[in-house]
Structure 1
Amino acid sequence: MADVFQVRIGVRGYELDIQGHVNQAVYVQYGEHSRWQCFHAAGIDAHVLVGAGVGPVVLETTIRYLKELRDGDEVDVTTEFVWGEGKTFRVEQDYLRADGVPVAKLSSVCGILDRQSRRLVADPAARLREIATDPAVLGLLA
């Protein structure tokens, strides 16, 4: 299994709320950015997904805020896919400030949508393994 995927993101001033810390909705965007970067590292981009007739969907997201992020901070967002049985899988993400302080945890239930039938594919791990050039990045053995 591959190491946990990680992306560093710099906090931008326009992402702050009136309290001077990162707005809660931005954490979701950071998680989405890290997930897409993980897909790219696995060799899957939007063109590959469209060509395969599928796309990732988020069905549920839970965020636990631990510490605030402020202007000028950098945050490392990890992305780890947790595979099980059935049509859904989990994506677990930890947010660590560059100094190592945990600031948030994001957990999502996801699936892979068949873009024609508008239904979740039966085995998302198998489908992504088929189209990835490096499925290990997604926690999948080739």
Structure 2
Amino acid sequence: MSAEQPARYVVRIGVRSYEMDVNGHVNHAVYHQYAEHARMEHLRAAGLSQHALGDHGLTVVLLSTTVHFRAELRHGDELEIDSEMAFTDRKPFTMRHRIVRVADGDGAPAKDVAAEAECTMGVLDTTARRLVADPHGRLAAAAAAPALLGPGPS
């Protein structure tokens, strides 16, 4: 991983039957949940579980999210959801996710981008109830595996 490239983290999940809508494909709100799952697993892998963040008086908050839907997902599809973090010199930072179908419900290989999500995040000081400056630095100081956060602001 070079200093210019964000750290990329990937989780794999299967589409469950209860995530379907009346049209027989994944409900739009579930795509947000898939992105949330990838975000939380990315942070956990870096050593930033809710408990670990709390030990440092911090939590990560979602400020806004946008999902662009590209393809339908159906019950049984296998997905890979990636997560990348990008920091600037501002308090908010960005996490981007791609939701990719890697196998259909019958197990046939696929490589379809089903959705792309972009989330604006912040690191909240739980005592002051304010976003912290230098979120990358604060997260890196608390992380067991700070390399998974990617580079700080350039």
Q: Taking structure 1 as the reference length, what is the TM-score of the superposition?
A: 0.95
Q: Counterpart in 2 of 1:54?
A: 58
- Give the distance between the partners of 1:30 and 1:6, measured in 2 at CA: 12
Q: Which ranges of 4 or more aligned residues in structure 1 deviate by more than 2 Å?
A: none
Give the aligned residue type for 2:62: V
Give the aligned residue type for 1:53: G
Residues 1:85 and 1:97: Cα distance change in structure 2 (over 3 Å)? same
Matches within 5 A, 1:72-87: 72-87=76-91
Q: Counterpart in 2 of 1:125?
A: 136
Q: Counterpart in 2 of 1:38?
A: 42
Q: Counterpart in 2 of 1:107?
A: 118
Q: Taking structure 2 as the reference length, what is the TM-score of the superposition?
A: 0.88
Distance apart, 1:3 and its partner CA = 5.0
* Aligned-pair identity (%): 43
Give the aligned residue type for 1:116: T
2:140 aligned counterpart, secondary structure: helix
| Total equivalences in the alignment | 141
Judge conservation of contact 2:13–2:80 (CA < 8 Å) in 1: yes
- Give the distance between the partners of 2:8 and 2:137, measured in 1 at CA: 20
Give the aligned residue type for 2:124: L
CA shift digits 1:69-91 (9 cap, x unpaired) = 00000111000001111101110
Give the RMSD, CA atoms, in angstroms. 1.2
Give the aligned residue type for 1:40: R
Residues 1:3 and 1:84: Cα distance change in structure 2 (over 3 Å)? closer
- Give the distance between the partners of 1:121 and 1:86, measured in 2 at CA: 10
Judge conservation of contact 1:89–1:111 (CA < 8 Å) in 2: yes
- Give the distance between the partners of 1:56 and 1:140, measured in 2 at CA: 18
Distance apart, 1:63 and its partner CA = 0.3
- Give the distance between the partners of 1:128 and 1:140, measured in 2 at CA: 12
Judge conservation of contact 1:129–1:140 (CA < 8 Å) in 2: no
1:80 aligned counterpart, secondary structure: strand
